Structure 1
Amino acid sequence: MLCEMIKTPISVFLVLMHFYLSCQDIPNSFTLNSAIEWGMDYNKTIQKSNLELQKAYKEKWKTISIGLPQIRGNLSYQNYLEQPVSLIPAEFFGGTKGDYAEVVFGTEQTAIGFAEINQLLFDGTYIIGVQGLKHYIDTAKNVLEKSQIEIKKSIIIAYVNTLVAEENISVIERNLLALNKNLKEITAVYKNGFSEEEDLEQIKLTISKLRTQFKYAKESYKLSFDILKLLLGIELDQKLKLSDTLEYLTMKNLNYESIDNNYSNNIDIRLAENKVIEEKFLFRLEKAKGLPSLSAFLNGSYVGNSNEFTFTDKEQKWFGSSAFGLRLEVPIFSSFGRQAKSQKAKLSLQQAEKNLTEVKSKVYVEMRKAQNNFNLAKENYFTAIDNLKLAERIEKKNITKFFEGVSGSFQLTQAQQQLYQAQQSKIQSMRAVIIEKTNLENILNNKN
């Protein structure tokens, strides 16, 4: 069956594509760094940005080629179905003055071969255009880098959200296990008449709430994982494992001192600087349009005439001609159109310069805000650890008091809710440390 299928070129192509896709080396597990590296290669948004960069390189050579020799040629064949008639004074042929003779010139069929080479010698707009090519490529690279920064952040968020959901599942499972154990003990106490029915109902209510949270956590885990797969350019049904833990990433991101606070490399600032340079070139370009342009040309042609189609015969006569010349185009008066365009370009340059100043100020404020948020996230993390330890001790004491009959189910439930809240606070504080560090690094465009 396979041998029959690959008999056609289309089938061969499809089979090769299937084998290629099947052999794509997708790792079974990803650290956060390896996920980012994979995303830089296979994320669809980055791939499209890479294509835009390639288009910029092609545009570069397209612009350069304008100033290089341009050669064109054409072949034409003409066969008169009815030849045109010209009127010539009859007196040229000895006829009466005032009369005209009908004359047919030329042959019925004509073949012409023509070639021409043009060379641009001077054009102010071309010079400005070539000077701006490096900047054009730099802008395309910065646009690609901005896409990479944004996708990297999205991958980190999706990766961390998946770990958070996974940690939530683990914590809720442990809580449910402990509650079910308590339920059995309280049920036994209740049957012996040493506990009220309200105590039993209270713990059942808590278990019910946790089961709902558990279901939500599982859905969140699946959704976060699917978002991560989409960002990595991986099929949703592909099985993956995340090898980094939430605890490890939190500890890794706590070191604030390693961050360079120089924000001049911020991608938005660099793009705003690109815009200023672009507007400068456009302003110069509009001014250059008032300069003359000079080009040279050299052409040649061969013409064959015949009443029959004999153009492929060796005996066919061909008559050649050639010419060399210069073309000078001088803008003289545009009814002030060029002046208006130059003034408009100058205003656009001023806008870009003001925008650059504004962007720098915004980035500075964003950096300070990000630093503050990261410091707060660190403090909240250490506070959450202390609060969790305290909540665990309180819950443990209330369990002991409850079974000793010193306190009721209300106090126990309150202590348990405090514990669950402290657990969530710790998990969210760990997430905040990682995300806020990422936000700060993105603003600084830290490469480490």
Structure 2
Amino acid sequence: MSQTLPESPTSFTLKEAIDYSMDHSFTVKNSVLQKNMTSAKKGEVRSLLLPQVSANADYNHFFQVQKNILEGGIGLMTTAAPGAVVPLQLALPNQLVPSLSASQVLFDMSHFSGLKAANASEVIADQTIKKSQIDMTVNVTKAYYGVLVNEKQLKAIRKNLERMDSLYKETIARYETGLARRIDVSRIEVSLNNMREEKEKTIRAVALSRSILKYQMNLPEENPLVLTDSLSENVLLEVEQILNTRQKVNYSNRIEYSIIESQKRLSKLDLQATRAGHYPRLLAVASTGFTPSASKIENLTQSSRWYQYSSVGLRLQVPIFSGFATHYKVQQKRIEEEVIDNNKVALEKGINLEVDQALINLENSMQSLKIQKRNLDLAQENLQVLRAEYEHGIALNIEVTTAEASLIDAQTSYYNALYGALLSKADYDKAMGNIIK
């Protein structure tokens, strides 16, 4: 029996859209994969502190067998003349050496420091995931608001179009009864055509903004998308509070600052690990194997030739001179620390600039939004009065069409100002590090 896969959701609040993007965004997924890679590297470093076991098998054929030199009158050579040189062949031409060896690090400062550095790298990987989540939150928020603003503007244009179409039909009826001129009909028809064109442009803008949101969320393009949140002017209250309180910048709230501090700690640990290259290493070693040999290769398999040997011991490795390699590696790490210190200072200045710029944009957006809201109210009121006067034969046709055009301009300016305020609020929250705590 076939099992159908669950369909992707189609309705999203802003929070749900952000949560969906966290689970499906390639940027976030890649940062998680990078964290997994860092964890694997940490395991690689840890494995160097575990026993290392290897098996070897060497075969040698000596076409000139090494001879050992003995002197007559000494040891086994008592029958030879004293001082006579006696070459003695102790080995056979064919030799097989299968062996098993093991070692265990007992003391190695570079490995111990490397493990600490691996832990620090894992912290940076976690912080990088958080940074990608913050960036994704801001991008989805801006795209979500972009759809809402365009849809709101499209709704307003459709209402304007209905009013203009009604006015057009009414003017035609008046023209047919001799109460209006032909130029009045033509003037309204021009405005009506312009409004229809504006409607089509806005429809395309809505489609584009939806595509941008789907892209940010990594939602398949063919999937339907319904946004359940609505535009609210509550953002005005939040912005007013921000501008009134002027919260002090706290660098530690910014994930970039946390990352650079972690990079500083990692650099110090890397420096320790590099300096540890001057320290000795102590290992426990063990080996076992066989050394069969024979004049003819086919005799190597004879069991009488196989005698086992085994040994255990300690190996102390003391670095004496590495051609100044460790010295130059330490220099590189010190320079790297200086670069990180410079980047930290630059980041602090950059954060201050971001916050100042965000506050200026907020003030400008708020001022623009208040003005455009007032203009919109005036344009609506003006149109309402002129429509009533036109119906009573007081106002001219051109005054009504001009008022309709002014209302459209006021609506466009208002929604652009509202969208600008929403974007400025998102940029300010990001600059202050208030997106994800």
Shared fold by TM > 0.5? yes
Q: Comparing 415-424 with 47-56, which one deviates more in the overlay? A: 415-424
The code of the aligned residue for 2:279 comes to L
Pick one of 412, 419, 430 that aligns with 1:424: 412
Cα–Cα, structure 1 residues 289 and 314, in superposed 2: closer, same or farther, change >3 Å? closer
CA drift of 1:407 comes to 4.2
Q: Is the 8 A contact 1:85 1:105 kept in 2?
A: no
Q: Is the partner of 2:224 in helix, strand or coil?
A: coil
Q: Could you list the runs of 5+ residues in structure 1 that have no partner in the other structure?
A: 3-14
Q: How many residues align?
A: 420
1:167 is matched with 152
1:191 is matched with 176
1:131 is matched with 116
2:40 is matched with 58
Pick one of 257, 260, 265 that aligns with 1:277: 265
The code of the aligned residue for 1:251 comes to N
Q: Distance in 2 between matches of 1:407 and 1:237?
A: 50
The code of the aligned residue for 2:333 comes to A
Q: Identical aligned pairs, as a percentage?
A: 21
Q: Could you list the runs of 5+ residues in structure 2 that have no partner in the other structure?
A: none
The code of the aligned residue for 1:334 comes to G
Pick one of 295, 298, 320 that aligns with 2:286: 298
2:105 is matched with 120
Q: Distance in 1 between matches of 2:354 and 2:261?
A: 18
Q: Is the 8 A contact 1:254 1:433 kept in 2?
A: no
1:397 is matched with 385
1:369 is matched with 357
Residues 1:328 and 2:317 aligned together? yes
The code of the aligned residue for 1:31 comes to T
Q: Is the 8 A contact 2:109 2:279 kept in 1?
A: yes
1:174-185 to structure 2, matched below 5 A, reads: 174-185=159-170
CA drift of 1:310 comes to 8.1
Pick one of 205, 212, 228 that aligns with 1:243: 228
Q: Distance in 2 between matches of 1:339 and 1:85?
A: 45
Q: Is the 8 A contact 2:286 2:310 kept in 1?
A: no
Q: Distance in 1 between matches of 2:146 and 2:179?
A: 45
1:21-420 to structure 2, matched below 5 A, reads: 22-75=4-57, 78=59, 84-86=63-65, 106=92, 111-247=96-232, 250-251=233-234, 254-256=237-239, 257=241, 261-263=248-250, 264-305=252-293, 317-332=306-321, 334-335=323-324, 337-420=325-408
Q: Is the partner of 2:149 in helix, strand or coil?
A: helix
1:181-234 deviation line (CA, Å, top 9, x unaligned): 000011112222332222222211111112122112112222222222222222
Q: Is the 8 A contact 1:85 1:103 kept in 2?
A: no
1:219-278 deviation line (CA, Å, top 9, x unaligned): 22222222222222221111221111123xx42674244896553211222222223223
Q: Is the 8 A contact 2:191 2:401 kept in 1?
A: yes
The code of the aligned residue for 1:106 comes to L
Q: Distance in 2 between matches of 1:295 and 1:308?
A: 37
Q: Is the partner of 2:278 in helix, strand or coil?
A: coil
CA drift of 1:155 comes to 0.9
Q: Comparing 120-129 with 33-42, which one deviates more in the overlay? A: 120-129
Ranges of 4+ aligned residues in structure 1 off by more than 6 Å: 91-94, 100-104, 308-316
Cα–Cα, structure 1 residues 201 and 133, in superposed 2: closer, same or farther, change >3 Å? same
**How well do the aligned residues superpose, as a CA RMSD in angstroms?**
3.4
Q: Is the partner of 1:36 in helix, strand or coil?
A: helix
CA drift of 1:361 comes to 2.0
CA drift of 1:301 comes to 1.4
Cα–Cα, structure 1 residues 45 and 405, in superposed 2: closer, same or farther, change >3 Å? same
Cα–Cα, structure 1 residues 167 and 305, in superposed 2: closer, same or farther, change >3 Å? same
The code of the aligned residue for 2:22 comes to M
1:269-321 deviation line (CA, Å, top 9, x unaligned): 22222232233333334433333333332222123456576888877734324
1:8-62 deviation line (CA, Å, top 9, x unaligned): xxxxxxx8xxx5xx52452231111011111111111111110001111111121
Cα–Cα, structure 1 residues 84 and 24, in superposed 2: closer, same or farther, change >3 Å? farther
Q: Is the 8 A contact 1:116 1:299 kept in 2?
A: yes
